[in-house]
Amino acid sequence: MELTTPQTRRTFLQAMGMAAAVAETASNARAFVDPDVTLTDKSIFQMTIRGGYRYITCNDIPNHPVGKFPDRGCPNTIQPQNFHFRMPLSPRENHFLKPLVNRIIFGVGLDGVPFDPGTAAFWNNQRGSIWNYCLLTGHLRLGLDQSHAHVQGDGTYHYHGVPTDLIRQRRGWGKVCLIGFAADGFPMYGPWGYKNPHDSSSGIKLLKSSYQLKTGNRPNPPSGPGGKYDGTFEGDFHYVPGLGDLDQANGRYGITPEYPHGTFYYVVTYNFPQISRFFRGTPDHSFYKQPPRRLRRGRYQRGQGLRPFGPPGFGPPPGFGFGPPRNP
């Protein structure tokens, strides 16, 4: 089924039963903006492999249509950026998950657009609490386009959910589709995967996270905002092992076309959390919006990494360089 308009995309999502995930489909349908707009700035995306690292240089201008910005929900205009990201080619898992915080970009797409799921809006301005407003559950309208993306104040276009047009541009709709890499180096895939994660002949299904709404009511002020758990805040959800297809980091172990011997990979899903709120590995410092305190004396800019590794340079990329396969 070719999803050529926002209306057909909405119809498809409803048919797939996504409305059950806290009525996200109905909420997102109101956030789609028309018409699709092709940017005048040329997309720049280069990926190189060197010294055990993957380097991505990009300007945050996607090579596919975007929504119309500014709009009523997002007053910002897309502006070219100057991003230089680095991530390990053979990432290592840590013993414990590392929470994603707002000062870190989760990952970058194969169109050079960051995956940055958090918002700067917190109940009672309690930054760092679990009462961070959710953008994709219909309670906070900030002008998302058909790819579940919008624009930050500095002009950065970024994804909050399934990057619809990136997947379509890669001809990956309904397939196991690589869409980017996380800051810790593990790959990111769209919402479809093999029914049996270790068998490519088992068929493909839409993967679901293992998060669901809590029951009852939130703590009353000053401990919390009060009211029913309804998806307004990230703290309204909790992880239930085995509920869906994915783990607490919204990922799983399995084979993919690019990793036939298996790897851990993140999945961007239609239901919460859409983009993972945890890292399996250690995010590279080039994904920090601000440097960690111990590094603030050095020369550091967001998306430009830490010298001495410097920018990845230019010239023809030597290929994707997926690195040695890992057994799950």
CB neighbours of residue 134 within 10 Å: 27
Tokens 């996607």 belong to residue: 62
Tokens 């092709």 belong to residue: 38
Q: Is residue 108 within a helix (H) or strand (E), and if so which, with residue range?
A: strand 107-109
DSSP letter at 112 equals S
pLDDT of residue 99: 96
115 close to 105: Cβ distance less than 8 angstroms: yes
pTM for the full predicted model: 0.82
Residue type, 27: S
SS3 of 16-70: CCHHHCCCHHHHHHHHCCCCCECCCCCCCEEEEEECCEEEEEECCCCCCCECCCC
303 close to 112: Cβ distance less than 8 angstroms: no
- Residue 11 corresponds to which tokens in the numbers above? 């119809």
pLDDT of residue 35: 52
Which segments in the chain show pLDDT lower than 70?
1-36, 290-328
pLDDT of residue 229: 97
Pairing verdict, β 263-267 and 187-189: parallel
CB neighbours of residue 13 within 10 Å: 22
pLDDT of residue 135: 87
| Rounded-to-integer distance, Cα 33 and Cα 143, Å | 7
| Rounded-to-integer distance, Cα 69 and Cα 269, Å | 25
| Rounded-to-integer distance, Cα 104 and Cα 289, Å | 6
pLDDT in tens, 189-214: 999 999 999 999 999 999 999 999 99
pLDDT of residue 4: 43
3 state SS of 239? strand
| Cα 255 to Cα 30, 87, 200, 263, 281, distances in angstroms | 36, 21, 7, 6, 19
| Rounded-to-integer distance, Cα 44 and Cα 25, Å | 32
CB neighbours of residue 292 within 10 Å: 12
pLDDT in tens, 219-275: 999 999 999 999 999 999 999 999 999 999 999 999 999 999 999 999 999 999 999
| Rounded-to-integer distance, Cα 317 and Cα 248, Å | 34
| Rounded-to-integer distance, Cα 73 and Cα 31, Å | 8
Pairing verdict, β 187-189 and 192-196: unpaired
